[in-house]
Amino acid sequence: MTEINGFKEIFGQAVWPQDKLFEVYAFVAEVEKNDDNCLILLELLSLDGEQVSPAGIRGSSRTVETFFQVSDVAQLEQQWRVLSLSQRAEGELILSILASLGVNEGVPYSIEGVKQTPEFIIADYQSPVGDEASEEDISRLFDISQKSQKLAVLDVGQGAAAFLYSQHDFPFPLVYFDIGGGCYPNAHTFPSGGVRWCFTQKPSIILSHWHWDHWAGATYGGTRNVAGPCAATWLVPPVSAGPLARKFANKIRASGGKVIYWPAGTSFIKSGRLIVGNATGKSWNDSGLVVLAELEDNRLSLIPGDAAYIYLPAIMQNKPLKTLLIAHHGGWLDAVPPTLLPYPDAEPNCYAYCSVGDQNVYGHPKLISSYRTAGWSVVQTDTRLQGQPAFHYDAETGGTCGGIVHPPCGGTICSLILHT
Ligand SMILES: [Zn+2]
Ligand SMILES: [Zn+2]
């Protein structure tokens, strides 16, 4: 379990009734199906709009479908419901309210009823989080990123985080691509000792999409560790999001940071060595922000978040790559095996990184053999076992050289030691 002070600093401490039946608005952030069972990740909002909490339901898909009145639990993603909850010890369907994203267990409540959500709540959350990015916002973000020569892949357990930096002598993050971490119910996969971020050069954060495992790391640790992400500029996808994202964005704004969303309808923006684009699918995974960067030896690195490769902007497809950050933690893509799988450029040191946590409950990764068949040497972050400190990678050499790049602060401010 990670320290929760940072989470409290951002989201406040929600107090839910303990002795009576009460109602909450519930937004479904993610649905994970596993045979006959499912896991539903929810973001709860109090009726007065003041309090938010993450929550989870683990149960049989049949029971969830009956309660939520859908024919397939997968249909629930990004939907809203009103839930009546009580703290009855047993019920047919149990929901756990979580004190932060970094816990594996919450406080159990019984779901006593499920109703449709009033239109005004849905409408209120229809627009993307933040302000639409202006040309100036985008060019400022690109200007800093232009100095990047290199890519680091961070070990955050079952989640994703990476950054671009200029050179070994100064491995300051210049832009983060996701700042996630193992979170409920995979909180146990987050590295022991946590991850202390470096915000010395005021890096921006490009967020692929709003699934918790791609931004939870920004809420972990003490108040000092969340201060950097809260004061940063976040470039986020142009999609509607839930109450956690909304509240986080408010905190970022109040802390001097900025949340800007990708100009809708813009397929990609290319500037110098960097292309940022918007995947063309519908789900959060497949409509995220994606990056193709020309880095080491002027070779290409692809960072697709969780998007299926068929939804990448065409300019990013079918490019021979030096480095691939494997989409969706090596799991199924849009529920199917990967098509348009990116391929290595056949020069030395081609690596595909799979960001997964040892003993994660999703059973990721599932499709590594497809990548090997495509010619990739695959590096998996789950070789760092549960309960061990993080093992971050300098992407150039796949961690095979045995070298270490120390952060300029020597580890006093951040913990971003990279392995070459
Ligand atoms: Zn995702
Ligand atoms: Zn993910």
> If you write DSSP's letter for every residue of 137-197 in order, what string do you get?
HHHHHHHHHTT--EEEE---SSS-EEEEESBTTB---SEEEEE----TTSGGGSPBT----
Residue 203 per-residue DSSP state: -
Mean pLDDT of 73-92: 93
C-alpha–C-alpha distance, residues 284 and 32, integer Å: 13
Q: Each residue of 218-277: pLDDT tens digit? A: 999 999 999 999 999 999 999 999 999 999 999 999 999 999 999 989 999 998 899 999
pLDDT at 95 over 80: yes
Q: What is the pLDDT of residue 150?
A: 94
HSE of 10, CA atoms in CB hemisphere, 13 A: 35
Q: What is the pLDDT of residue 335?
A: 62
If you measure from the C-alpha of residue 305 to the centroid of ligand 2, how many angstroms do you get, rounded to a whole number?
Answer: 7
pLDDT at 146 over 80: no
Count other C-beta atoms under 10 Å from residue 297's C-beta: 12
Q: What is the pLDDT of residue 187?
A: 97
* Inter-axis angle of helices 243-254 and 223-230, nearest 10: 90
Q: What is the pLDDT of residue 144?
A: 75
Type of residue numbered 330:
G
Residue 373 per-residue DSSP state: H
CB 166 within 8 A of CB 147: yes
pLDDT at 97 over 60: yes
Closest ligand to C-alpha of residue 283 is 1
Closest ligand to C-alpha of residue 307 is 1
CB 92 within 8 A of CB 63: yes
Beta strands in 237-332 (DSSP E): 258-261, 268-271, 274-278, 289-294, 300-303, 323-325
pLDDT at 2 over 70: no
Q: In what order do the strands lie in the sheet with 161-165?
A: 131-132, 258-261, 233-236, 204-206, 175-179, 161-165, 150-153, 392-394, 418-419, 404-405
Rg of the Cα trace of the chain? 20
If you measure from the C-alpha of residue 209 to the centroid of ligand 2, how many angstroms do you get, rounded to a whole number?
Answer: 8
If you measure from the C-alpha of residue 48 to the centroid of ligand 2, how many angstroms do you get, rounded to a whole number?
Answer: 31
If you measure from the C-alpha of residue 20 to the centroid of ligand 2, how many angstroms do you get, rounded to a whole number?
Answer: 36
Confidence band, pLDDT 50/70/90 cuts, at residue 148: confident
Q: Each residue of 308-362: pLDDT tens digit? A: 999 999 999 999 999 999 999 998 887 677 889 999 999 999 999 999 999 999 8
Mean pLDDT of 169-187: 95
Residues that place a CB less than 5 A from ion ligand 1: 211, 285, 306
**Closest by alpha carbon to 328, among 360, 361, 356, 300?**
356
Site of tokens 């760092």: 384
> Minimum mean pLDDT among 8-22, 66-80, 102-116, 324-338: which range?
324-338
Residue 403 structure tokens = 């070298």
If you measure from the C-alpha of residue 366 to the centroid of ligand 1, how many angstroms do you get, rounded to a whole number?
Answer: 15
Residue 272 per-residue DSSP state: T
Can you list the domains of the chain with their CATH numbers?
5-124 (2.40.50), 131-419 (3.60.15)
If you measure from the C-alpha of residue 223 to the centroid of ligand 1, how many angstroms do you get, rounded to a whole number?
Answer: 26
Closest ligand to C-alpha of residue 32 is 1
C-alpha–C-alpha distance, residues 323 and 388, integer Å: 26
Confidence band, pLDDT 50/70/90 cuts, at residue 1: low
Q: What is the pLDDT of residue 147?
A: 80
If you measure from the C-alpha of residue 162 to the centroid of ligand 2, how many angstroms do you get, rounded to a whole number?
Answer: 13
If you measure from the C-alpha of residue 285 to the centroid of ligand 2, how many angstroms do you get, rounded to a whole number?
Answer: 8
If you measure from the C-alpha of residue 307 to the centroid of ligand 2, how many angstroms do you get, rounded to a whole number?
Answer: 9
DSSP 75-88: GGTT-EEEEEEE--
If you measure from the C-alpha of residue 284 to the centroid of ligand 1, how many angstroms do you get, rounded to a whole number?
Answer: 7
If you measure from the C-alpha of residue 267 to the centroid of ligand 2, how many angstroms do you get, rounded to a whole number?
Answer: 22
Start-to-end Cα distance in the chain: 29
